[in-house]
A and B are shown apart, each in its own frame.
Chain A
Amino acid sequence: MANEVLIGTRKGLFVIQRKLGLWRIERTSFSGAPVSMVLSDPRDGRWYAAVEHGHYGTKLHVSEDCGATWSEVACPAYPPKPEGTPDVLCPMRRKPVPWSLEKIWSLEAGGSSEPGTLWCGTIPGGLFRSADSGRTWELNRPLWDMPERGKWFGGGYDWPGIHSILVDPLDSQHLLISVSCGGVWETLDGGGAWRLVGQGLVADYMPPELAGDPAVQDPHRVVHCRAVPSRAWLQHHSGIFRSDDGGVTWHRMTSVKPDFGFVVVAHPTDPETAWFVPGIKDDERIPKDGAMSVWRTRDGGATFESLRFGLPQEHAYHLVYRHAMDVSPDGNTLVMGSTTGSLWVSDDGGDSWERISAELPPVYCVRMA
């Protein structure tokens, strides 16, 4: 049973703990500053927090004592743009994509065979790797230099960004990353070479002749079942998709409406089970009828249950961002936070929910410690 959760919000980092059966906010850090991403590294117990200062940029902090103290480490930084390098233009706005960090949007521990290795996905689209627990970072040039990056564009932000990084539990060199908006990418050699995958994804927001182009897809979030990583789930701008081959090809789930949302969480051991938080697409982004619900499938996406017990059912306008839900290793405890500052916990796989707070700042990400 999970007993500690890190919550990154618009106004700081919160840590909640369960003691004697009751969840409480135990600690706050970086009060007033947006915390876009947090990570609890299962290999060494270090915590990381990406802290955004509106004027002074994003900084990365690490804690070796479960949040009691924090120290600033190096932040991923784009190298000087070499003279003569042509600009990559955003295809929608015809503006050059900057070589400068805008946001840390994903942060993941490398495989168990690579202690100290971290992967960091950013806006405007660079993937960074650290081999020394964040003391130094290097931009992955093979991906940054792919010509298809010229097709990427921002989804909700001015520039494209990497929000999902899946490290294959069976092979640390095998990664799947996802870009809004730039599709799903795979490397088999730790980032030395990349290929664009994602056949089967459909972008309803593009003209028909471009809707199937894998490089213009907007996968809001991609996750996999840790025990069976070939089973992956994808909440797309245009619907819910499932993959049976580790993210190379995708199948749209047609039995679920509404199928717009941002977050998806995969059961750690049961490849048939995943959770989503639906909203009315895509110009409204609120729960249908103002009633909060969670979709759960337990049969690989053939059917979806609408879970509502304990969730507000009247005039509830919560949106759950793509990193704002997590699941415990046993698949029983779920935590989710909303844009309007509510935080819920379920200990029965989503059958029922308890609201821990309705007073938090807008929630960006939650992570089981």
Chain B
Amino acid sequence: MPTVHFTANLSRLTSAPVASVDGATVGLVLECVFSRHPQLRGYVLDDQGAVRRHVVVFVDGAAVQDRVGLSDAVRPDSEIYVMQALSGG
């Protein structure tokens, strides 16, 4: 089951614990997390569901390619990190 980690800076603002959830793409995995923590969605995705401009998502060490459709594939043992992009700060 893929594991999702969120930057500790997010935990100051809203509930963002480490989560192990099902899903074959970044979008499906994040949807699963957001179903448990609805407020978290708006911190990671913009109004149209794309990754926020100054947020970056890594899957197994590589920044995701599809920041709009969130279609990058995820393996069952993938480690996903949702981090701040330094462009925003």
Q: Which A residues fall within an 8 A CB radius of B?
A: 53-57, 59, 72, 75, 77-81, 98-101
Contacts and interface: CB of A to CB of B under 8 A. Distances in A.
Nearest to A30: B13
Nearest to A53: B13
Nearest to B83: A55
B18 interface: no
19 contacts: A53-B13, A53-B43, A54-B54, A55-B9, A55-B88, A55-B89, A56-B42, A56-B43, A56-B44, A56-B52, A57-B42, A57-B46, A59-B13, A72-B14, A77-B42, A78-B48, A80-B48, A99-B47, A100-B46
B39 interface: yes
A98 B84 CA distance: 21
B10 interface: yes
B10 A56 contact: yes
A100 B48 CA distance: 7
B85 interface: yes
A216 B48 CA distance: 28
A60 B43 CA distance: 12
Given A72-B39, A77-B42, A55 B47 contact: no
Central interface residue in A57, A59, A77, A78, by most chain B CB within 10 Å? A57
Contacts of A53: 13, 43
B49 interface: yes
Contact of A101 (B39, B47, B55): B47
Central interface residue in A56, A57, A59, by most chain B CB within 10 Å? A56
Contacts of B14: 72
Interface residues of B, number: 19
Contacts of B55: 55-56
A53 to B, nearest CB: 7
Interface of B: 9-10, 13-14, 39, 42-44, 46-49, 52, 54-55, 84-85, 88-89
B42 A59 contact: yes
B44 A100 contact: no
A80 B49 contact: yes
A202 to B, nearest CB: 35
Central interface residue in A55, A57, A75, A78, by most chain B CB within 10 Å? A55
Nearest to A80: B48
Contact of A55 (B39, B42, B84): B84
Given A78-B48, A81-B48, A54 B88 contact: yes
Given A55-B89, A56-B52, A56-B55, A75 B46 contact: no
Contacts of B48: 78, 80-81, 98-100
Nearest to A32: B12
Q: Which 3 A-B pairs have the closest CB atoms?
A: A56-B43, A100-B47, A78-B47
Contacts of A78: 47-48
Contacts of A98: 46, 48
A79 B47 CA distance: 7
A99 B9 CA distance: 26
A75 B42 contact: yes
A72 B43 CA distance: 12
Contacts of A99: 47-48
A101 B45 CA distance: 11
A164 to B, nearest CB: 23
B5 to A, nearest CB: 16
B44 to A, nearest CB: 7
